[in-house]
Amino acid sequence: ATPTSIMVGTGRAAEMGVLFRKGDALQMLQEAKVVALDKTGTLTQGRPELTDLITAEGFDSDTVLRLVAALEAQSEHPIAEAITRAAAQKGLKSSEVTAFSSLTGYGVEANVDGRRVLVGADRLMAREGIDMGGLAETGDALGRKGRTPLYAAIDGKIAAAIAVSDPIKPATPQAIAALHGLGLSVAMITGDNQGTAQAIASELGIDIVVAEVLPEGKVAALEELRKRGKLAFVGDGINDAPALATADVGIAIGTGTDVAIEAADVVLMSGELTGVVNAFDISTRTMRNIR
Ligand code: ADP
Ligand code: MG
């Protein structure tokens, strides 16, 4: 493509709310074979709601929710917000929290009202040696519905299986179909549970699922995908910045964090994935000199 056609393509993209920050991204994008998308906040709204709380024998659901919400009030994870919102709606009062710690990719723990409370993924319970009993299957079943299962433990005993559900953004299904129409393989990368990720992927027709990835593992997961051909990655979060820099073309959702936007080659003004399709389309047209 000539410098003029790249300028025209970049300008046309900008009119459609797609900002190419580098000319070579416009050239590179149409060479991509795989597009990998972050799940939370990219494919989904990133604003989950609490849907389930199933207690173990000997535990009362309001008590568990109150203790768990007090702990989550210290965390900034979207899951934490879903839980604190649910407790507030039920009018449950917060309690005193000490010795809080956040275990990235696992969950959170603290002392609440003098009790040791843990909330997080099954791998957190495994790591702490907590037997999940029959609630393990309860959580797996919630995962198969596309909800994210979490577990709460109180004083070393499993207390509840909890689930949150994060709605898929309205334009996500059409965007995935359009990317397939362009001949791309579509992958999803997430720190979320394997079963949950699989359920959402099959609902959306996503080809490749990489789940239970710790934040520091996203780059390695992308390097693996890159073996299939040139790779574009779409993300929104702080922990997506290294992945955005690693991909051949990093695409940030404009409604995402500043750190992600700074690390990206392409920025979408809208929060919907329609912009990803437009970006591919403009790249192809520019390189083939189609008007
Ligand atoms: P993602 O942003 O893709 O969900 P994270 O690494 O932030 O990935 O989280 C991975 C998993 O760790 C979550 O799905 C959840 O199971 C657990 N987790 C993280 N933070 C919390 C929290 N504040 N409360 C409960 N679980 C959490
Ligand atoms: Mg995200």
How far apart are the CA of 169 and the centre of ligand 1, in A? 20
**Domain 49-165 in CATH: superfamily?**
Calcium-transporting ATPase, cytoplasmic domain N (3.40.1110.10)
Q: Is 119 near ligand 1, meaning CB less than 6 Å away?
A: yes
Query: Hey, which of 106, 128, 193 would you mutate to test ligand 1's pocket, going by the most ligand atoms within 8 Å of its Cβ?
Result: 106
Number of neighbouring beta carbons within 10 Å of residue 24: 12
Question: Which CATH number applies to 3-45+168-287: 1.10.645.10, 1.10.3720.10, 3.40.50.1000, 3.20.20.10?
Answer: 3.40.50.1000
Do the domains 49-165 and 3-45+168-287 match in fold? Answer: no
- Output the tens digit of pLDDT for each of the chain's 291 residues: 788 999 999 999 999 999 999 779 999 999 999 999 999 999 999 999 999 999 999 999 999 999 999 999 999 899 999 999 999 999 998 889 999 999 988 999 999 999 999 999 999 999 999 999 999 999 999 999 999 999 999 999 999 999 999 999 999 999 999 999 999 999 999 999 999 999 999 999 999 999 999 988 999 999 999 999 999 999 998 889 999 999 999 999 988 889 999 999 999 999 999 999 999 999 999 988 765
Distance from C-alpha of 263 to C-alpha of 201, rounded to nearest angstrom: 26
Ligand of minimum distance to the alpha carbon of 241: 2
Q: How far is CA 30 from the centre of its chain?
A: 25
Domain boundaries, the chain: 3-45+168-287, 49-165
Q: Is 217 in the pocket of ligand 1 (CB under 6 A)?
A: no
Calculate the dihedral angle through the C-alpha atoms of 189, 250, 106, 81, rounding to the nearest 10 degrees.
Answer: -100
Predicted TM-score (pTM) of the model is: 0.92
